[in-house]
A and B are shown apart, each in its own frame.
Chain A
């Protein structure tokens, strides 16, 4: 193992304390809707000035890891992704909680997050320099196709109701165009209003579209929030371990997907989770059960999004290009510490890099006990708190969380408006996920398309730009697979049945 001599440096009492404290603080912050990993890390930056670079990195890495995992709680227990990375966790996590398996889902999420984190960190340790080239191989056109690939997931998510799914996605795409356009600087769809100038912020849209309808329903119906059928059953760790072992290939595949997507500077945890989810669903024999509380769905997303932590550090440390938004903050903190990232960092500043990577392993492992205990506590609180307390508390948190993202009242107004719209749409059969996918992927697709078109037109090779690059062709193949696989499969199964019948 490279840099093994630095393992002991990572294991000083101070570093262990920083890793544990960081993971706990991160998990709590990540579980609150609106408080994202980026915010958590940014708040910490001044604290790290006085630390040694490796310790500062360990603390920030631990908070980051914890926050990504913490996002799962709100996703599972409140149907609200605490961070964008946890969007796909709601698909199966909330149905599991609804039927009384919330404790199992939280424990599964913890195990999956730890596995994903370890796989991501392992890639960072062993293969960082060669893998960093992946970040550079992805040009605008590849991001365009990747976003289109993500959009094809809508067809899978809205099976049986494709038309409504597509309408929702178009609504989301329109929402993504609101405000000052990110690259062309045009002001669009603001209707002269200052409120819309900053655009629809993703996390506030998530809170509005997912959480507000749940709150309205809680008030409107007499049922308990989550069904509780049994007496407390502890962590349900043995059960969760058995499920994890049964689906170890799912965990591994999703973790590798998460690492690779994490390396791409323009993608991030939300896309990693969605791609891993769609792949898990495509491969699984229980694919019909996805979306109704299938443990595999929770495992896929949670392992993938935690793998993006290690993956995102690869371009950050090797190229000085932040892989994810929290990485950008960490990179800034390193700059101020006087640490120059780059290809030589691994050879010249090995003591910092390897101490940090072992520290990341340490933090991820510590997340297992810390995450199980906090998860258990979160579950018990949500289940036992009376509705009259739960609704106002969560409502208050959504307001504070939304405001804190950009210190903006406009975001709060947008969040509440989208919440009411989302609730009405829910009633007539539109689910929030296609809208959110359109919102997130619309921006990536638009930027990639405009840039690819500009370069293609300048070099007079538009066809080659869009259809002549190997990675693009690979993604296009996946798009075709994702779109037509259900059709082909249905026909194939039909023929098999016919043969069997004969």
Chain B
């Protein structure tokens, strides 16, 4: 009897052990990668870039699916209810996961999101058409100073990277401009190209996708973008504006710590691939390496700037 009990106890001890052994070979089946936006957007495209490298490096498929709605809120509010076994991961976007929970109850808070890696950002850029009379950033500032409120700028959504860039830049330059929100970057570019607005708060990727039809006046990066060596940074021109739409990957909170660490390393490995980097940069993206250990500090730092700008603009109370 005692022996049997002992055996049972040994078995109980052994079971979780064997489970850990199995997890050493993570990933052992396809990983579901949920994008909380619709197909065809930039979040989708960057995930698609990662897809073949994941398969090549780790031998398993990265299966992309979509859960759009509420500007990402529908997906993020359900993330922690999903199975935390490392086979469900979800794209996360900044400033969305910081601003949205501040606005109203959207079913999740910024702290709820267990981010494992921020892998790139699309830097903000001030974009004009090729034939625009604005040749430099100074031209734009001068026009806005002479005509307060009359400078119309398109951008994607409210409380977004574009919108916050407009607010922050207006403060720094001491100007007043009019921001016109469109649904998605594609529509904001269309409005610019169709001369419905005078300029656009867009991204470096807009410059890459519409080469020859648009010009970037400045980019919000620490250093110039390798694809646009002639475009100055805002910093060079005296404005401390660095930022954009940051993208990363999160897991359900219940995911075991060692798998979270492993995932973080895996995404870092894809990010380090020179071929992957070249393709991303050619699309106008800028790579970023914030792993799981640095994630929280990074979010806290970004949140400070975003929330101040959003409060200033009345996007949040």
Contacts and interface: CB of A to CB of B under 8 A. Distances in A.
A197 B158 contact: no
A185 B48 contact: no
Contact of B191 (A46, A140, A331): A140
Given A328-B39, A329-B39, A136 B157 contact: no
Given A407-B67, A458-B152, A328 B40 contact: yes
Interface stretch (B210-218, B263-271, B286-294, B297-305): B210-218
Contact of A192 (B105, B181, B186, B193): B105
A139 B194 contact: yes
Nearest to A331: B40
Interface string A319-357: 111100101110111011010111110000000000000
Contact of A198 (B45, B66, B70, B190): B70
Interface string B36-59: 001111001100110110000000
B149 A266 contact: no
Contacts of B160: 185
B56 to A, nearest CB: 12
Contacts of A335: 45, 209, 283
Interface stretch (A16-24, A101-109, A175-183, A480-488): A175-183
Contact of A458 (B41, B71, B149, B211): B149
Interface residues of B, number: 60
Given A185-B158, A407-B65, A320 B106 contact: no
Contacts of B195: 136
Contacts of A49: 52
A185 B52 contact: no
A135 interface: yes
Contacts of B150: 458-460
A52 B132 CA distance: 37
A338 to B, nearest CB: 8
Nearest to B282: A338
A46 B211 contact: no
Given A179-B70, A197-B70, A455 B39 contact: no
Given A140-B191, A182-B183, A342 B74 contact: no
Interface residues of A, number: 60
Interface string B222-257: 000000000000000000000000000000000000
B20 interface: no
B197 interface: yes
A406 B69 contact: yes
Contacts of B189: 321
Interface string A131-162: 00001111110000000000000000000000
Contacts of B91: none
A42 interface: yes
Interface of B: 34, 38-41, 44-45, 48-49, 51-52, 64-71, 73-74, 77, 100, 103-107, 149-152, 157-160, 178, 180-183, 186-187, 189-191, 193-197, 209-213, 279, 282-283, 315
11 contacts: A140-B196, A180-B106, A184-B158, A192-B105, A321-B189, A321-B193, A329-B39, A338-B282, A340-B211, A343-B212, A451-B182
Top 8 A-B residue pairs of the complex, sorted by shortest distance between their CB atoms: A198-B69, A328-B40, A136-B194, A458-B178, A42-B39, A139-B196, A180-B70, A183-B181
